[in-house]
Structure 1
Amino acid sequence: VMLDAVFNHSGYGFKPFQDVLEKEEHSTYKDWFHIKKFPLQEENKVNYRTFGFEPIMPKLNTENKEVQNYLLHVAKYWIEEFNIDGWRLDVANEVDHHFWREFRKTVKSIKPDVYILGEIWHDSMPWLQGDQFDAVMNYRFTNAALDFFAKQISTVEKFQNELTKVMQSYPQHVNEVAFNLLGSHDTPRVLTMCQGETQRLKLLYVFQFSFTGTPCIYYGDEIGLTGGDDPGCRKCMEWDSTKQDLDLFFFVKKLLSLRKKYASFRSYGEFAFKNLAKDVLSYTKTAESEELMFIINRSNVKKEIQLPDNFNHALDIWTNQYVSKHLSLKGHDFAILLKNFK
């Protein structure tokens, strides 16, 4: 269980903010917010900093010691009282680094393995030095994967270059715990991004579950929920199995079972792109005594692929069939070939 914490701003009904609205400069909470001058509101103008220019979300002053103590008490409370497993930190890039360092010390002193995940949409190395977050929401991965598989506006070469930049931006141990998502409450549903084509989404899942990091599934994506921007992406889960895409659901379950079975499928396998055929995405994952080669044909035309000598007579763990030197891959299809070292 991971809770979502918004430590950057409060709601309009937050009692300390209401106290400032009522008492203005005489409020004991006036330094809890970034106030330019009083009164706080003049017709359509607000005299305090907000999140996203929304008057109903006043920005908290996390440099204020009282604010820090209040928020850190919240962070401790849910771990001590309910033993939660992690915190997801909203708008983390707009809160000062000093506060996040204190946040880490506080929660890790109570539960050393509590997971700290930051919402950062860009390069995140300043937060991943070992003194703040364990991981961030890997939107750089998200955007590259969606451009290639869902929108199909990126070439194999461009996709490989984008993912290589992401991997080289961070140390290996950071990449291994990156929070790799395809969609969230802030983005359109991934199937909608795929223009309703389930096969594109299946290929996306093959890549997401085999790439270095922690794959995250936004509720309902595994059974084919659709929806555009907010509020479409936040609609209720469909629990009626007759209205679910069960073929997609069992496809996801099979991928997860392979992640559990093969060490090289998971986050700690060494990842490397390979170029086997034009417009075909190929890469290997190597770990312990095995190597997996993933071959993905995003196009709608059949591809003929000459396999490397070391993958001659390899087992396709998806179809459970052996493949010789030559692989014929139809449109929107993939293969996952296994080579054992022992």
Structure 2
Amino acid sequence: MAESFEVTFTYKPVISVDSVNLIGDFNDWDLDRTPMADENGDGTYEVTLELEAGEYQYKFVVDDDKWQKPPEADYYVDDGFGEKNGVIIVGDEVPLRVSVKGNGVIDFETLRHNNSDVKFANPLSRDRISIRFQTRRNDVEEVTLCYNDGQKQRIQLENFATYEEFDFYKAIIDLENPYFEYYFEVKDGDKIIWYDKEGIKEADNGKLTDLTSFQYNLSEVDIFRTPGWVKDAIFYQIFPDRFYNGCKENDPEKIEVYKDEDTRCDAVIPDWEKGVPPNPPVLTEETEFYDNKNEIHPEAGYYVFYGGDLQGVEQKIPYLKRLGVNAVYLNPIFKGTANHRYNTAGYELVDDTLAIKGDLEASEEYVIKLIEKLHRYGFKVIFDAVFNHTGYEHWAFQDIIEHGKDSKYVDWYNIHSFPIVPLYKQNKENPPNYDCWWGFGHLPELNVKNPEVRDYIFQVTEKWMDPKGNGDLSAGIDGWRLDVPNEVKEVVPNFWQDWRESVMEINPEAYIVGEIWDNASDYLQGDEFDGVMNYRFRDAALRFLGLNEIKGDEFAAELSKMYFQYPEQANYSMLNLIDSHDTSRYLTVIDEDKERMKLTVLFQMTYLGAPMVYYGDEIGMKGEDGPDCRRTMIWKDRGYTKPDYDLFNHYQRLIKIRKQQPALRRGNIRGIDIAYDQVDGFKRSYGDQQLLVLLNAGKEMIDLEVEVDAADGKYRELYQNRIVSVDNGRLHLKLEGITGAIIKLS
């Protein structure tokens, strides 16, 4: 009988769904045979199968009819319908033995370098490059880069990442000549081999004469440049309707939401302080008006407004300065009928209920002045945009509704028949007759293949980056957060490459961050995004620090995996979040364990990349997934809830430490070996500065002894403001349970 393996498939939809099924070669693509379950309610669906060794194609099916490509697979193949199937390899592709350093045996099969892959050869400038090399885990003692840039040189590579069965080594070298040649020398015990363009070479009678070096010319490749300011940025995400109501005059009127021809649901503006009471009731499909969850029936797609606005953002600038953040990410402010405004009626239009009610021109002028003011106060500003779909109310779609196939915008969307099925008549038996996002009729998808649509998107991009049209970037935004960009790329593969070129022509220091939930390598090659919303960072932090369900070495492996998969530049430009408007609040997920929240924030403020604070996290806001995580900001004691000023002070103190220590913002990173399952740590280095960060996710105090590259003596621990000692090259520290340390070693 063939050997079988236990394989677990997981899938986390980006929105709430009713069902997920697994289909593939192993079940004859039967839609009903392999349902998946969300056992712990965290939004991740799983199923475990027994499969024989081999390769299998597969997909996920959401709500019985939405076929989804797996976000991570061993590789992908065409499915014959213009999309991709994931492929999983079951069983060991290469038999791996137990490896031991120093035994003189090297696993040749796992050695790897590819100078056409930016994961292995990443040009940082015209005279600087990062070179990486892969070996079997714990298998070799030294990897040396031998290169010639007009002068023969050698540099030993540093082991910078370990995950799964592999170690990854790296060196960043400065070159005198953009053209250089190189090969690797790999040593273990008394065994030395060389790795060149042709593969592995061994000496014959102690002599090696037939090396074929890798060749690289930095003058002939594109350099992936990311904005320098992002390394120093600490972002604050604001969902405008729920942040602060700074102007009662622009509050929305009562909104009539049509569910059918005879029934309408009136969405009034609730009281800010009473909008989300504790213990909201359980909601059902029959619930017409979700007052406690701030939501109308999901098929309507419209939401209750609370009146938060851009005047509220302006009035709270002193609060943001006091917290210490220096960059603002605004959820959409474009005109829309939902409080989230992802259903825009026009990207070029500011929603007047966020600015000057009844006056779109004055609203635009107000936004420009607000951007200028934020800039004067030292803030960068990025806008949220979804160029994959618009709202049902967008002027182009409305023109199609009015004029049918005679509309000059008819090719801006993918319409299947005429007339358009009215939104209030749509249901499962009478679905939309046009392409729309995840089947939601109020979100018709743009036809991004249409050059007119492309030009429109490029024009509104320029409008907000240079609103005065004269190159005065002080009035323009500093970057973009892109909603569901993967869906645009699936339709037009080079769309974001062209768009990035346009953005860089306007402002070479603009920041482009995409909403990609899984491995984003394809988007971070230097020609599309600078970084992504780092949900993988969140998942790793949640599992180790928040829920304590994995060990420290597993946590370190997840971080190492991300670090290796992304170029150096992108690692510094990742938007590191612990929650957002699309997830449950972190504090809620971890059962309101504030000490674990504090430990997670310590990690967030010391790790590689740009931290992002979701409004209200700093004062202990809670909320489940969906609209509940978008509760109104707590500005004063509500009786049943109040701002947590202790947590605010904690955020404030860690932000201050990050700002004061360049190594925490711009330094490189290296993991350290720690013998305790519940402890992890890493070093940050920049110039002559070196800091050690330690994280104890366990409940017990640990008496740590860590080998460090520092002279014997006393050193300052910044987090708890205490003194620690180094004796004989080893740091000694008692680390309490569920806490951390930041030690300044130089």
The interval holding the TM-score normalised by the smaller chain is over 0.9
Q: Name the counterpart of 2:314.
A: none
The alpha-carbon deviation at position 150 of structure 1 amounts to: 1.7
Question: Which residue of structure 2 aligns with residue 12 of structure 1?
Answer: 392
Letter in 2 for 1:16: A
Which residue of 404, 409, 416 maps to 1:24?
A: 404
Structure 1 residue 298 corresponds to structure 2 residue 697 = yes
Match of residue 67 from structure 1 = 453
Q: Does 1:286 align with 2:685?
A: yes
1:197 Cα shift? 0.9
> Is 1:98 the counterpart of 2:494 in the alignment?
yes
Amino acid at match of 1:14: H
Q: Does residue 438 of structure 2 align to residue 52 of structure 1?
A: yes
Shift, 1:269, TM fit:
2.7
Structure 1 residue 289, shift from structure 2 partner? 0.8
SS of the residue 2:388 aligns to: coil
The CA deviation at 1:199 is: 0.5
| Residue range with higher mean Cα deviation, 199-208 or 79-88 | 79-88
1:2-23 residue CA offsets vs partner (Å, 9 max, x unmatched): 1111100010111211222233
Name the aligned partner's letter for residue 183 of structure 1: D
User: Per-residue CA shift, 1:27-76, capped at 9, x if unaligned?
Assistant: 22121112233344386122221112211101101110111111111111
User: Could you tell me how far apart the structure 2 residues matched to 1:241 and 1:286 are?
Assistant: 42
Residue 146 of structure 1 aligns to a residue whose secondary structure is helix
Paired position in structure 2 for 1:214: 610
In structure 2, C-alpha distance between the alignment counterparts of 1:100 and 1:335, rounded to whole Å: 41
Instruction: Quote how far apart the aligned CAs of 1:310 are.
Output: 4.0
* Structure 1 residue 204 displacement after superposition: 0.4
Q: Is the 8 A contact 1:291 1:338 kept in 2?
A: yes
Please say if 1:315 is aligned against 2:716: yes
Distance (whole Å) between structure 2 residues aligned to residue 329 and residue 270 of structure 1: 21
Q: Which of 327, 338, 342 matches 2:744?
A: 338
1:160 Cα deviation (Å)?
1.2
The one-letter code sitting in structure 1 at the alignment partner of 2:599 is L
Aligned to 1:142: 538
CA deviation map 1:301-338 (0-9, x unaligned): 12121232645533212233221343222211222112
Question: 1:153 and 1:277 mapped to 2: Cα distance?
Answer: 15
Cα deviation per residue 1:260-300 (whole Å; 9 max; x = unaligned)? 11122224332324324332112211221122111111111
Q: SS in structure 2 opposite 1:52?
A: helix
Q: Which moved more, 1:295-304 or 1:308-317?
A: 308-317
* Contact kept? 1:272, 1:285, Cα under 8 Å: no
User: How far is 1:255 from its partner?
Assistant: 0.9
- Tell me, in whole angstroms, the C-alpha distance in 1 between the residues paired with 2:634 and 2:679: 35
Q: Which amino acid aligns with 1:286?
A: S
Query: Is the 1:305–1:329 contact (alpha carbons within 8 Å) kept by the matching residues of 2?
Result: yes
Mapped to 2, the partners of 1:89 and 1:267 lie a distance apart of 25
Mean CA deviation greater in 329-338 or 266-275: 266-275
**After superposition, where does 1:176-187 map in structure 2 within 5 Å?**
176-187=572-583
Does the aligned pair in 1 maintain the 2:666–2:686 contact within 8 Å? no
Matched-pair contact (CA < 8 Å) for 1:296–1:334? yes
Larger Rg: 2
Residue of structure 1 equivalent to 2:601: 205
- 2:658 is aligned to 259
The answer to whether structure 1 residue 76 and structure 2 residue 471 are counterparts is no
For residue 328 of structure 1, give the secondary structure of its aligned residue in structure 2: strand
Q: Aligned runs of 1:236-255 on 2, under 5 Å? A: 236-240=632-636, 243-255=642-654
| SS in structure 2 at match of 1:153 | coil
Cα contact 2:524–2:567 (8 A) shared by 1: no
The alignment status of 1:271 with 2:692, answered yes or no, reads no
Contact 1:224–1:244 (CA under 8 A) maintained in structure 2: yes
User: Any conservation in 2 of the 1:264–1:285 contact (CA below 8 Å)?
Assistant: yes
Q: Secondary structure at the match of 2:439?
A: coil
More helix by share: 1
Q: Secondary structure at the match of 1:157?
A: helix
One-letter amino acid matched to 1:22: E
- Which shows bigger deviation, 213-222 or 145-154? 145-154
3-state DSSP of counterpart to 1:247:
helix
CA contact (8 A) 1:211 1:267 kept: no
Quick one: distance in 1 between partners of 2:520 and 2:452? Answer: 28
**Aligned partners of 1:111 and 1:262: how far apart in 2?**
28
Work out the CA distance in 2 between the residues paired with 1:45 and 1:239. Answer: 42
Q: Distance in 2 between matches of 1:61 and 1:317?
A: 53
Question: Is the deviation greater in 36-45 or in 87-96?
Answer: 36-45
SS of structure 2 residue aligned to 1:168: helix
TM-score normalised by structure 2 residue count: 0.44
**Residue aligning to 1:224:** 620
Whole-Å Cα distance in 2 between the matches of residues 25 and 188 of structure 1? 43
Segments of structure 1 that go 5 or more residues without pairing to the other structure are none
More strand by share: 2
Contact residue 556 and residue 671 of structure 2 kept, 8 A: no
Aligned equivalents of 2:420 and 2:561: distance in 1?
45
Partner Cα separation in structure 2 for residue 77 and residue 152 of structure 1: 46
Cα distance in 1 for residues equivalent to 2:454 and 2:708:
60
Retained in 1: the 8 A contact 2:663–2:691?
yes
Q: Aligned partner of 1:247: which letter?
A: D
Matches within 5 A, 1:155-170: 155-170=551-566
| Separation in 1, partners of 2:542, 2:577 | 10
Letter in 2 for 1:3: F
Residues 108 and 241 of structure 1: is their aligned pair in 2 closer, same or farther, counting only changes over 3 Å? Answer: farther
Question: Mapping of 1:116-131 within 5 angstroms?
Answer: 116-131=512-527
Aligned pair count reads 340
Contact 1:214 1:267 in 2 (8 A): no
1:47 and 1:261 map into 2 onto residues whose CA distance is 56
Deviations 1:155-187 (CA, angstroms, capped at 9, x unpaired): 212211111111111111110111111111000
SS of 1:46 mapped into structure 2: coil
Distance 2:582 2:643 in 1: 23
Structure 2 unaligned residues grouped into runs of 5+: 1-380, 468-474, 726-730
SS of match in other structure, 2:519 = coil
Deviating more after overlay: 101-110 vs 236-245: 236-245
Contact 1:137–1:179 (Cα < 8 Å) also in 2: yes
* Paired amino acid for 2:692: M
Q: Distance in 2 between matches of 1:256 and 1:182?
A: 15
Give me the whole-angstrom Cα distance separating, in 2, the residues matched to 1:138 and 1:267: 18
Change (3 A) 1:333 1:93: same
- Residue type of the partner of 1:195? D
Identity over the aligned pairs, expressed in percent?
38
Superposition TM-score, scaled by structure 1 size? 0.94
Distance in structure 2 (CA, Å) of the matches to 1:28 and 1:267: 51
